[in-house]
């Protein structure tokens, strides 16, 4: 016997490996129990399904004249719905996206109509600058799209960042066409 055995007061051999296993198993069971107890508490902090369902809005595109922009509030953020002119569409489609900091084609920023076609006349996006969250001004800036006066970001007629400190294009919200003239955001 190269190892020395420790014997307790009752004459039983104390096995350190068994003791270590029992401590580790008890600790693991306690951690799992704490996680199971904490999960419902953390999960209840999220938005309920009925709240998310109520967080959608329908927009009648026929009310937005060509060259105009509708601004609505959706889930606490402004959403821009722009009825682009033929010139704005041509400018958006004519951009060499390799020159863009966040390359994305104009078609990638659109959603299909019920017939499965893209309608480039309507651009729907969250109207928040991706730099620090300011609200850009429409029909301005170096690219005739949007300009953020806070720090000088310039977006084109497709809402893509072209110049300035903003790292990404303005976000496109989840939306679908319910009909040819009505979209549902959210």
Q: Tell how far CA 37 is from the center of its chain.
A: 29
Would residue 154 show up in a list of annotated catalytic residues for this protein? no
Report the C-alpha gap between 137 and 149 in whole angstroms. Answer: 8
Q: Which of 6, 106, 141, 123 is nearest to 69 (CA)?
A: 123
Active-site residue, selected from the candidate residues 10, 83, 131, 151: 151
| CA torsion angle 38 186 93 105 (round to 10) | 20
Q: Which of 131, 173, 167 is nearest to 149 (CA)?
A: 131
Q: Which residues, 6 or more positions from 126, have their beta carbon under 8 angstroms from its beta carbon?
A: 77, 78, 79, 80, 170, 171, 172, 173
Catalytic residues: 151
């Amino acid at each position: 016997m190269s190892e020395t055995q420790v014997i307790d007061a009752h004459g039983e051999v104390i096995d350190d490996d068994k003791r270590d296993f029992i401590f580790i198993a008890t600790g693991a069971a306690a951690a799992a129990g704490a996680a199971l107890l904490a999960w419902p508490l953390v999960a209840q902090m999220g938005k309920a399904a009925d709240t998310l369902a109520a967080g959608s809005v329908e927009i009648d595109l026929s009310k937005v004249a060509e060259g105009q922009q509708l601004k609505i509030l959706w889930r606490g953020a402004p959403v821009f719905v722009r009825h682009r002119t033929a010139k704005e569409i041509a400018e958006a489609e004519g951009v060499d996206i390799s020159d863009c900091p966040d390359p994305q084609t104009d078609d990638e920023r659109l959603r299909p109509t019920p017939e499965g076609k893209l309608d480039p006349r309507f651009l729907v996006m969250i109207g928040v600058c991706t730099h620090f969250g300011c609200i850009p001004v429409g029909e301005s800036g170096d690219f005739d799209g949007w300009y953020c006066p806070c720090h000088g970001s310039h977006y084109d007629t497709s809402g893509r960042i072209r110049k300035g400190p903003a790292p990404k294009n303005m976000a496109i919200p989840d939306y679908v066409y319910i009909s040819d003239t009505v979209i549902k955001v959210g």
